């Protein structure tokens, strides 16, 4: 098929951030970019005309940190993703319980700020049902269980905390209902796991939703063996349409010998699926005080505690792990949220550079809530990409009530330093972390540019000096993410010879005050239209 996109604006997204007016597509690739006369001469007759009618054509978005399987599964279970308060969440849950007869009630999407201290109690779930209930938090770092589920998991007052997690307790010592980080494994061992058919349906639902938002490629940030198997099956059957970079999960409870298994699995990519990345989870999150910080958390009174968060992988081991992964030709993808975790990741990359030389593995650090100013120039110096999640950089209830009081004003100013990273020459990619937050790229760009979210009642800009320009944000979620996905030579910009992964926006965000007011009218993947909005 041949197409000509014209009568609108084209954000080419190349290194010059140039603009054009007309694009020709032939045999799944971009055949011409330029004036209408030049493009039509190259394409010839028989092309399908796509009238942009003043709309904007851009390269397909790429999400550098996302969980499509989990997102799709959440949409198939009790989904609290779009719920804004506890009362509504309990109503949604009660309605879900009435409408299902499953042995376990599973789902997720609750937020810390709904609960005192960020810890949801089992009693609220007990009042709805005596069937076992287990709901993951919106960020995936904490779980909420009712008393029946806690009993089935064998969690009692005497159950010790795992080294990488915490069980919340009531004053009488009994489990309160909240499980943080590694403590969630205690529940996951007894809660039913999805079968192969469910995993397949969840991943297909995740793909359908992402394509509808203009996301044509992504890096799946948590690929376990069942997810790896599902990706391979969908790639073989041709049902995997998007290009996927899979992050094979580094099990922090195992030793170095797992690397041989991961290297073997990394060679099993096929078609659109390429699993040559390793995910290293270094710390937790600030809301439950498990993010790894250089200085201690404060208590409610503003006094230093003895808690600096958790290091899921000790710094002395991380350097060896990263050096060996890099030597195997594999990419490292770090969850690094606190400033100590960020420093440990950069130190490990530096050790790999010293041992292996400058490889093209393209390590990247995701989240980066706190970055010590001394570490900002190290990203460019070490060739480490910053993969940011813009939707989190707002002065919402979680930030106001569960983060700022426990880190103090000085560290508050260190949060999400995107403009400083760009000014230091850092390569920036963008990821949603869906199902933690929405994968809607225009909503993410909006917060990156404005640092607030009026749709959530947050009008005050959070650290406005770290806002970035619209063009920078667009480049991060196209060319920047294509770079960390190792797809920059074939996608990420609208240039001759690249794959025709294109998105038609229903308006030009450069002409509007808020990018979030823009939607996706069409998604083209490899020259095939895979999504069209009803209003297009």
189/159 Cα distance (integer angstroms):
15
Angle ∠(62,68,74) on CA atoms, nearest 5: 140
Count the neighbouring beta carbons within 10 Å of the beta carbon of residue 384.
25
Work out the average pLDDT over 337-347: 98
**Strand, helix or coil for residue 22:** strand
The distance between the two most distant Cα atoms of the chain, rounded to a whole number of Å, is 79
Work out the average pLDDT over 399-427: 97
Cα radius of gyration rounded to whole Å, the chain: 23
Query: Rounded to the nearest 10 degrees, what angle do helices 315-327 and 339-356 cross at?
Result: 40
Is residue 460 predicted with pLDDT exceeding 80? yes
Is residue 470 predicted with pLDDT exceeding 90? yes
pLDDT at 117: 84
Is there a contact between 290 and 139 (Cβ–Cβ < 8 Å)?
no
Is there a contact between 395 and 362 (Cβ–Cβ < 8 Å)?
no
pLDDT at 359: 96
Is there a contact between 500 and 527 (Cβ–Cβ < 8 Å)?
yes
Residue % of the chain over a pLDDT of 70: 100
Is there a contact between 59 and 502 (Cβ–Cβ < 8 Å)?
yes
* pLDDT one-digit tens code per residue, 74-127: 888 888 888 889 999 999 999 999 998 899 999 988 888 899 888 999 999 999
pLDDT at 163: 87
402/411 Cα distance (integer angstroms):
14
Q: What is the DSSP letter of 165?
A: E
* Better-scored residue on pLDDT, 188 or 65: 65
Map tokens 């490990």 to a residue: 348
pLDDT at 456: 79
The secondary structure of 413-460 as a DSSP string is TTB--HHHHHHTT--EEE---TTSS---HHHHHHHHHHS-BGGGTB-S
Is residue 536 predicted with pLDDT exceeding 80? no
Question: In whole angstroms, how far apart are CA 1 and each of 27, 46, 48, 49, 449?
Answer: 6, 9, 8, 11, 37
* Better-scored residue on pLDDT, 109 or 506: 506
Going along the chain from its start, the domains and CATH numbers come out as: 2-60+497-532 (2.30.40.10), 104-188 (3.10.310.70), 277-484 (3.20.20.140)
* Better-scored residue on pLDDT, 507 or 437: 507
pLDDT at 409: 96
162/151 Cα distance (integer angstroms):
18
Map tokens 């970019």 to a residue: 33
pLDDT averaged over every residue in the chain: 95
231/214 Cα distance (integer angstroms):
20
* pLDDT one-digit tens code per residue, 249-276: 999 989 999 999 999 999 999 999 999 9
What is the β-pairing status of strands 78-79 and 105-110?
parallel
Q: What is the DSSP letter of 517?
A: G
Model's pTM, two decimal places? 0.90
Question: In whole angstroms, how far apart are CA 192 and each of 106, 162, 189, 405?
Answer: 9, 21, 8, 38
Count the neighbouring beta carbons within 10 Å of the beta carbon of residue 41.
12
Alpha carbon 338 to its chain's center: 16
pLDDT at 77: 87
392/36 Cα distance (integer angstroms):
41
Is there a contact between 58 and 475 (Cβ–Cβ < 8 Å)?
no
Q: Which helix (H) or strand (E) holds 319?
A: helix 315-327
Is residue 310 predicted with pLDDT exceeding 90? yes
Which strands sit side by side in the sheet containing 2-6, from one edge to the other?
29-34, 22-26, 2-6, 48-51
Q: What is the DSSP letter of 160?
A: P
Query: Rounded to the nearest 10 degrees, what angle do helices 225-237 and 196-212 cross at?
Result: 70
pLDDT at 83: 86
Lookup: tokens for 14 = 């190349």
Is residue 435 predicted with pLDDT exceeding 90? no
pLDDT at 97: 92
pLDDT at 111: 87
Contacts of 479 (CB under 8 A, 6+ apart): 13, 14, 59, 488, 492, 493
pLDDT at 513: 94
Q: What is the DSSP letter of 363?
A: -
Is residue 139 predicted with pLDDT exceeding 80? no
281/56 Cα distance (integer angstroms):
38
pLDDT at 426: 98
């Amino acid at each position: 098929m041949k197409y000509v996109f014209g009568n609108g604006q084209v954000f080419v997204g190349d290194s010059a951030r140039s603009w054009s007016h007309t694009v020709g597509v032939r045999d799944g690739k971009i055949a011409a970019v330029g004036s209408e006369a030049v493009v039509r001469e190259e394409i010839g007759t028989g092309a399908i005309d796509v009238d942009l009618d003043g709309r904007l054509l851009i390269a397909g978005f790429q999400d550098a940190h996302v969980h499509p399987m989990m997102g799709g599964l959440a949409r198939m279970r009790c989904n609290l993703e779009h719920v804004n308060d506890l009362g509504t969440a309990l109503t949604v849950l009660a309605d879900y319980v009435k409408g299902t007869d499953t042995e376990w009630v599973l789902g997720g999407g609750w937020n810390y700020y709904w609960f005192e201290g960020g810890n949801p109690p089992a009693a609220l779930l007990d009042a709805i049902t005596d069937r076992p209930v287990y709901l993951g938090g919106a960020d995936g770092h904490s779980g909420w269980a009712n008393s029946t589920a806690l009993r089935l998991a064998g969690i009692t007052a005497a159950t010790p905390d795992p080294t990488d997690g915490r069980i919340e307790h009531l004053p009488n010592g009994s489990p309160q209902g909240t499980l943080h980080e590694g403590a969630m494994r205690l529940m996951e061992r007894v809660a039913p796991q999805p079968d192969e058919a469910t995993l397949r349906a969840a991943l297909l639902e995740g793909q359908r939703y992402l394509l509808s938002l203009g996301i044509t490629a992504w890096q799946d940030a948590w690929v376990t063996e069942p997810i790896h198997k599902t990706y391979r099956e969908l790639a073989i059957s041709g049902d995997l349409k998007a290009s996927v970079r899979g992050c094979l999960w580094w099990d922090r409870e195992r030793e170095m010998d797992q690397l041989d298994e991961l290297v073997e699995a990394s060679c099993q990519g096929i078609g659109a699926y390429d699993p040559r990345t390793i995910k290293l989870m270094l710390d937790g999150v600030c809301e439950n005080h498990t993010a790894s910080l250089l200085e201690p958390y404060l208590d409610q009174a503003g006094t230093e505690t003895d808690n600096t968060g958790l290091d899921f992988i000790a710094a002395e081991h991380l350097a060896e792990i990263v050096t060996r992964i890099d030597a195997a030709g594999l990419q490292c993808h770090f969850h690094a949220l606190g400033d100590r975790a960020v420093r440990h990741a950069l130190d490990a990359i530096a050790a790999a550079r010293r041992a292996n030389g400058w490889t093209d593995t393209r390590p990247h650090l995701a989240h980066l809530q706190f970055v010590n100013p001394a570490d900002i120039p190290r990203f460019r110096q070490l060739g480490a990409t910053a993969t940011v999640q813009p939707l989190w950089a707002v002065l919402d209830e979680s930030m106001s009530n569960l983060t700022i009081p426990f880190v103090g004003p000085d560290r508050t100013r260190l949060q999400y330093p995107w403009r400083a990273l760009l000014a230091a020459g850092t390569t920036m990619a963008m990821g949603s972390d869906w199902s933690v937050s929405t994968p809607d790229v225009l909503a993410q760009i909006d917060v990156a540019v404005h640092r607030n979210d009026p749709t959530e009642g947050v009008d005050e800009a959070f650290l406005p000096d770290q806002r970035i320009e619209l063009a920078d944000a667009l480049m991060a979620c196209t060319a920047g993410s294509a770079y960390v996905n190792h797809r920059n030579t074939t996608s990420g910009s609208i240039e001759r010879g690249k794959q025709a992964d294109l998105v038609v926006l229903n308006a030009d965000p450069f002409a509007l005050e808020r990018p979030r007011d823009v939607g996706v009218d069409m998604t083209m993947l490899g020259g095939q239209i895979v999504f069209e909005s009803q209003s297009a």
